[in-house]
Amino acid sequence: MVEIFMPSTYETCVPYDLFARLREESPVCWVPEPPVGPWREGPGYWAVFRHADVKHVLRTPEDFSSHLGATQIRDPDTPADLRFVQMQMLNMDPPGHSRLRRIVAAAFTPRAVRALERTIEERAAALFAEGECDFVEVAADLPVWTLAHVMGVPARDRRLLYDWASRVIGYQDDDYVGLSTADVAALTPMGRSALAARPELRPGVNPRSRAALADMFAYAHALAENPVDGESVMSAMRKGGLTEAEFENMFFLFAVAGNETLRNGIPGGLLTLLRHPAEFARLRADPSLLDSAIEEMLRFWPPVMHFRRTATRDLTLAGRSVRAGDKVVVYHASANRDPSVFPEPDRFDIARTPNDHVSFGFGPHFCLGAHLARAQLRAVFRELLRWEVELAGTPRRLTSNFQNGLKHLPVRLRRLPHRNRASAG
């Protein structure tokens, strides 16, 4: 089952046929971790494919810990790296996780998101222009802009958020390792100062270590100490009782985790619609289906394919004997195609209901930013209903066994005549 682990497996597609076979024949199976390029061999892990088992693992942190080994398949390189990432909310168990979640929750309530929706919609409406473009690059603007708005990052420094997220989510892809696209001359003094702290990145360096993101953390502290427009979310968090490591990891969570879902989900959603033209036409004819269409895009193209837990004790999972300390990796991408939950799971149906996908996780770690992510998805696809969209080249996937992303999605856009746009809202 080594192909489940190998990043190269995902260069052309997600192996849904293999997932389907494993759900039926071996719903929890052992997967080896051979060395990949500069990445050393790992001990292997239990992969979990069925919807019910995935939910069980995610909702029982007393048995399957986010904290013990963190939530990435790859183990941190050193004990110090592990201790550092354990301070991230994503890598905590209750009650520590609950304390940090309460500190952050106010920024992501439905009420807080509703207050942002008008500005998000205005930004989405300005994204597109007639002609050919790389939709991945165009769509990346909205989550970066939204995060900058929430975090209080000056407009001149927004591209830093793009680069930091790219380095972390694309570390298995040669095109993204060490990516740096920010225009140094355009940055604020705070941004230029942070960039001077950027380490020399080489293949094999863990992108989630403190050393690899020294520039991001330098910027985080500068932003908290010198908010541009009054007190920002980040400065409030810094004063809210977080330790230095907790604050740095919270900045990481906003800048990267709050970015990657949309960076993957928006282009993936559009490509799914383009590959199912009858459903795209159905959505144009009935925009009231937009909310259910977004849920189906998330099910069909989950932005993140898996997350890891670590067994806290010897136990049995789907008939398999799991030992304390074993890695247990739940595959959202497989759970979202489980036929026991989703009739005709490989059919893309924009009116599917119910739609119990796990693309935002489940249990204590259900994504805090889900409301904000959905608001951005609605804004983009509501605007796209006003445009004719067609592929203008071959999409290229991100090489990653973790992120379900695209590097390039060339499309051609043409604004629809006004008389045909009324139905788009």
Residues 6 or more apart in contact with residue 41 via CB below 8 angstroms: 33, 34, 35
- pLDDT of res. 212: 84
Q: Tokens 């973790």 identify what position? A: 402
CB atoms within 10 A of CB 4: 22
CB 379 within 8 A of CB 370: no
Q: What is the pLDDT of residues 382-417, one digit of tens each?
A: 999 999 999 999 999 999 999 999 999 999 999 998
pTM (whole model) above 0.85: yes
* Half-sphere exposure (Cβ direction) of 358: Cα atoms closer than 13 Å: 30
Question: First vs last Cα of the chain: how many Å apart?
Answer: 47
| Cα–Cα distance, 115 to 107 (Å, whole number) | 11
**DSSP code at position 21:** H
CB 315 within 8 A of CB 325: no
3-state secondary structure of 311: strand
CB 270 within 8 A of CB 409: yes
Q: What is the pLDDT of residues 332-343, one digit of tens each?
A: 999 999 999 999
Could you list the pLDDT tens digit for every one of the 425 residues in the chain? 899 999 999 999 999 999 999 999 999 999 999 999 888 899 999 999 999 999 999 999 999 999 999 999 999 988 988 998 898 889 999 998 988 888 777 667 777 778 888 899 999 999 999 999 999 999 999 999 988 888 889 999 999 999 988 888 888 888 887 788 899 999 999 999 998 888 876 666 777 788 888 899 999 988 888 777 656 677 667 676 778 888 888 888 888 877 888 999 999 999 999 999 999 999 999 999 999 999 999 999 999 999 999 999 999 999 999 999 999 999 999 999 999 999 999 999 999 999 999 999 999 999 988 988 999 999 999 999 999 999 999 999 999 999 999 999 999 999 998 644 444 55
Q: Give the DSSP H/E element, type plus range, for residue 388.
A: strand 387-391
Q: Is the dihedral of CA 156, 181, 233, 235 positive or negative?
A: negative
Q: Write out the DSSP string of 322-366.
A: EPTT-EEEEEHHHHTT-TTTSSSTTS--TT--S----TT--GGG-
CB 76 within 8 A of CB 343: no
Inter-CA distances, 41 with 6, 34, 181, Å = 12, 5, 32
Q: Write out the DSSP string of 227-291.
A: -SSSS-HHHHHHTTT--HHHHHHHHHIIIIIHHHHHHHHHHHHHHHHHH-HHHHHHHHH-GGGHH
Give the residue extent of every domain in the chain.
Answer: 2-424
- pLDDT of res. 209: 80
| Cα–Cα distance, 213 to 218 (Å, whole number) | 9
- pLDDT of res. 422: 42
Q: Tokens 């380490």 identify what position? A: 199
Domain 2-424 CATH superfamily = Cytochrome P450 (1.10.630.10)
